[in-house]
Amino acid sequence: MQKSTRPVDDIGLVEPKTKHFSGTLALASGSELHGFDIVYETYGKLNKECSNAILICHALSGDHHVAGYHTPQDKKPGWWDNIIGPNKTIDTNRFFVVSPNNIGGCSGSSGPLTINPVTGSSYGPNFPLVTVKDWVKTQAMLADKLGVDVWTVIIGGSLGGMQCLEWSISYPNRVKNTFIIAAAPKLSTQNIAFNEVSRQAIRSDQNFNEGNYYESDNKPELGLMLARMLGHITYLSDDALDEKFGRELRDGEIKFGYEAEFQIESYLRYQGRAFVDRFDANSYLLLTKALDYFDPAGDTEGSLSKAMAPATAKFMIISFSSDWRFSPERSQEIVSALLEANKCVSYIEIQSTQGHDSFLMPIPRYHQVIKTALDRIAKGLDL
């Protein structure tokens, strides 16, 4: 792709970087990692005062490739390219944006696919279970290496929003502002139930072999595909699915068989297959567990406002009207706790039709809210 064909607010070609951390990392589970890598991308420049750094925390199936393109041949940019770039809502002319891939994932940071230095073969199912707390800890270690003492903003949607919440509790002096989008203070019973069905789909795949499938030609693709199909339904709203596909048939008529007949069936199968090409089943299992375990109020007798007591950041909480996976009520639980704890907090519910996935969409009001808040922060910093 020629540079001239790209829009001016495009970030262009970007290159992932890797930092290695030697030594032993103690995890929340009690397990240890003997050295690990974090893959990350950065956009924009850290200023002299080191005051303009923004951390992007990714969700379940996200990664470090948030904006721009890796090669001129890439058909798609990073997963949140619509918001990050020169003169975009998160303006890389003003801010230094950092996006790490969390450990346990499968996009380059240490995870099940990585070689275990102790055994010399890949971790596979033996990669220890990690938690949101562990992720935040490793992100803080990356921040140290990048020379970022304090994030001016930490932004995350969904599971990324949970990392923002954890940052504000674990490292209150290292976060000025947190934007928590389409998140929840912990998973509901129903959320955990969905995750369990996903995990069982993977674990009961005949190719799963207790997670030892890397050497095999047959991978648990069917299980992972089913897990993604289920997840995908919960990310979209009933209305959005109905509007996009309705009861439309692929061939215009019912054929009385089990091939994909309705458009929604072929769409889900396509989404499932595409996911299998870029994701690892062991990672998926591990990441859904991290979601299930997240509950900061668990350390404070179930009181989220007590859990939030150490936080000094300003909070912006954003929810979406059509999101039923992490509904506006779940965001309001966070807001209530912050109000009770006398924290600085703003809250808005954005009208949307696209369900949980709304947080990835360029909804004008949504981006306007973030831009307005960032403009004010930039002004305060003389950026």
Stretch that binds another protein, among 16-24, 177-185, 233-241, 366-374 (CB under 8 A): 366-374
Tell which one of 375, 378, 381, 383 touches another protein (CB under 8 A).
375
Distance CA 85, CA 201 (A): 38
User: Could you tell me the smallest distance in angstroms from the CB atom of residue 368 to another protein?
Assistant: 6
Residues within window 281-320 making contact with another protein, judged by CB under 8 A = 314, 316
Nearer to another protein, 241 or 381 (CB): 381
Which residues share a beta bridge with 155? 56, 179
Q: Does 162 bind another protein (CB under 8 A)?
A: no
User: Could you tell me the smallest distance in angstroms from the CB atom of residue 319 to another protein?
Assistant: 9
User: Could you tell me the smallest distance in angstroms from the CB atom of residue 69 to another protein?
Assistant: 32
Nearer to another protein, 150 or 344 (CB): 344
Is 70 a catalytic site residue?
Answer: no
Q: Indicate the Cα dihedral angle 236, 237, 243, 245, nearest 10°.
A: 50
Choice among 323, 327, 331, 352 that is catalytic: 323
Nearer to another protein, 116 or 346 (CB): 346
Q: Contacts with another protein: how many residues (CB under 8 A)?
A: 21
Whether residue 182 contacts residue 331, with contact meaning beta carbons closer than 8 Å, is answered with yes
CA–CA distances in Å: residue 360 to residues 35, 111, 139, 321: 33, 25, 22, 14
List the structure tokens of 176. Answer: 């000025």
Is 295 a catalytic site residue?
Answer: no
List the structure tokens of 44. Answer: 């924009």
Residue 153 amino acid letter: V
User: Could you tell me the smallest distance in angstroms from the CB atom of residue 244 to another protein?
Assistant: 25
Tell which one of 34, 255, 278, 365 touches another protein (CB under 8 A).
365
Within 10 A of 303 (CB to CB), how many other CB atoms are there? 15
Is 367 a catalytic site residue?
Answer: no
User: Could you tell me the smallest distance in angstroms from the CB atom of residue 181 to another protein?
Assistant: 14
User: Could you tell me the smallest distance in angstroms from the CB atom of residue 267 to another protein?
Assistant: 32
Within 10 A of 315 (CB to CB), how many other CB atoms are there? 22
User: Could you tell me the smallest distance in angstroms from the CB atom of residue 145 to another protein?
Assistant: 33
Nearer to another protein, 294 or 347 (CB): 347
Choice among 283, 319, 356, 358 that is catalytic: 356
Tell which one of 105, 347, 355, 356 touches another protein (CB under 8 A).
347
Tell which one of 349, 353, 381, 383 touches another protein (CB under 8 A).
349
Choice among 107, 109, 110, 158 that is catalytic: 158
Residues within window 317-346 making contact with another protein, judged by CB under 8 A = 335-336, 339-340, 344-346
Nearer to another protein, 278 or 376 (CB): 376
Distance CA 31, CA 51 (A): 35
List the structure tokens of 320. Answer: 């979406």
Stretch that binds another protein, among 26-34, 95-103, 109-117, 362-370 (CB under 8 A): 362-370
Distance CA 356, CA 290 (A): 19
Catalytic residue numbers? 158, 323, 356
Footprint on this chain of another protein (rule: CB under 8 A): 314, 316, 335-336, 339-340, 344-351, 365, 368-369, 372-373, 375-376
